[in-house]
Amino acid sequence: MNETPPELSTQLIHHPYQPPAGFAAPQPGVFKASTVIFASVAAMRQRDWKGKAGYTYGLHGTPTTFTLEERLCTLEGGLQCLLQPSGLAAIANVALALLKSGDEVLIPDNAYGPNKALAEGELRAWGISHRLYDAMDPADLAAKIGERTRLVWLEAPGSVTLEFPDLPEQVRICRERGVLCALDNTWGAGLAFRPFELAPGLGVDISVHALTKYPSGGGDLLMGSVVTRDEALHLKLKLTHMRLGLGVGLNDVEAVLRSLPSMALRYRAHDAATRELAAWCARQPQFAQVLHPALADSPGHAHWRRLCAPQGGEGAAAGLFSVLVDARYGQQQVDAFCDALRLFKLGYSWGGPVSLVMPYDLRAMRPGWPKHLAQGTLLRFSPGLEAVADLRRDLEQALAAALPPPP
Ligand SMILES: *Cc1c(COP(=O)(O)O)cnc(C)c1O
């Protein structure tokens, strides 16, 4: 009996052509899938869905996500990595995997705001309590670790006020008390310091990174990662990750793979421009204080120097600085200054080519006014990749337009 040939529509789906193996190019190929095809039922049954020896389902990884995960392990100095739909999803994955009803999590008082909002708005409803500790006082952290503390969040520096904590000391305290610590490493990005090697034999348990920032570098996608150096801890996080269905778009993974090779160069360029502008701002009488960990009078400068410039010299810092506009200027004038900026755009996030500025209401973010900060209105700048002279002129013209110098 002659077999009926498949119809055209079927042929186009089940096509026999296989391109020759051995293609090599600078950019890795992109594999997109929800469905992964197994060669046989036996192969499907044998496939280990927890490891990286094979593929089971798009949500559990493709060659493209595995490739990015391995590169991020190299970036951060870790051994295992989970990709996440956003930096905040990475934070949530850690919290949901490690905390259960009755547990407590400690969060630094200057932490990334949505981390606190997650604790207040979601974890609390699950019976998980949280307390804020003074990021600049290790004794306060030590005092607040209690019977029920299961996780300590660390951030270096704080995401808006940029105080640099004594990170090795904080990790040492967590170790001594047997509590897991997770660092939000978005600022350091794997480039400013090594989160798993803060001192000989001393590192964080978990490094969370908002890839949305420097690894993307485009201001055009959202992604996060959770990197560890412990297989059992990774598996715990991974099971929660799988059960919650936290997937990433493969086009976005491709974009990060394309940006990653230039990340160190971009980080240095943002750093250099930021320091130049921060130093310039420190000379303007309208600003009562300029916050950038590499400035000698910025809170935690010595901690930054020890960790991020251990050999002396310039060291490394992300492209963020904040200013406290002198309290003699009202909110309306400060808002007018932001509106007068032309190259600095008003927007959240950072790490892309476009310079950004954002006013923050510190009174709503912190329990009391931190004693190490001058009175005033806080603005955070994240210089992009424009020519730094143009950015300085932009600040100059907006100051002249909206914040006349004091008499
Ligand atoms: C941006 C950011 C995040 C969250 O990243 P998203 O991808 O925007 O969710 C977390 N932590 C820090 C310090 C950040 O700057």
Strands (E) located in 60-196: 80-84, 104-108, 129-133, 149-155, 180-184
| The pLDDT of residue 204 | 98
> CB within 8 A of 298, min separation 6: which ones?
162, 163, 164, 290, 291, 292, 304
| Strand arrangement, sheet containing 287-291 | 287-291, 321-326, 376-382, 356-360, 345-346
Q: How far is the CA of 224 from the centre of ligand 1 (A)?
A: 8
**Single-letter amino acid code for the residue at 83:** L
Q: How far is the CA of 32 from the centre of ligand 1 (A)?
A: 26
Query: Hey, what CATH topology would domain 263-402 get?
Result: Aspartate Aminotransferase, domain 1 (3.90.1150)
Averaged pLDDT of the chain: 96
* 280-325: pLDDT as tens digits: 999 999 999 999 999 999 999 999 999 999 998 999 999 999 999 9
* 205-252: pLDDT as tens digits: 999 999 999 999 999 999 999 999 999 999 999 999 999 999 999 999
pLDDT tier at 386, thresholds 50, 70, 90: very high
41-261 is classed in which CATH architecture?
3-Layer(aba) Sandwich (3.40)
Residue 201 reports pLDDT greater than 90: yes
pTM of the model: 0.96
Report how far residue 3's alpha carbon sits from residue 84's, in angstroms, rounded to the nearest whole number. 48
* 251-288: pLDDT as tens digits: 999 999 999 999 999 999 999 999 999 999 999 999 99
> CB within 8 A of 354, min separation 6: which ones?
219, 345, 347, 384, 386
| The pLDDT of residue 50 | 82
Domain ranges of the chain: 41-261, 263-402
Pocket test for ligand 1, best of 110, 161, 186 (most atoms within 8 A of CB): 186
| The pLDDT of residue 1 | 61
Percent of the chain at pLDDT > 70 equals 100
Residue 326 reports pLDDT greater than 90: yes
pLDDT tier at 2, thresholds 50, 70, 90: confident
Q: What is the mean pLDDT of residues 343-357?
A: 97
Dihedral-angle region of residue 17 (phi above 0 means left; psi in -120 to 50 means alpha; beta otherwise): beta
Q: What is the mean pLDDT of residues 146-157?
A: 98
Q: The tokens of 99 are what?
A: 């905390």
| The pLDDT of residue 266 | 98
Lining ligand 1 with CB less than 6 A are 86-88, 112, 159, 184, 186, 210, 212-213, 222, 224, 349
Q: What is the mean pLDDT of residues 72-101?
A: 98
Atom of ligand 1 nearest to the CA of 155: 13
Report how far residue 64's alpha carbon sits from residue 82's, in angstroms, rounded to the nearest whole number. 13
Whether a cis peptide bond, with omega within 30° of 0, leads into 165 is: no
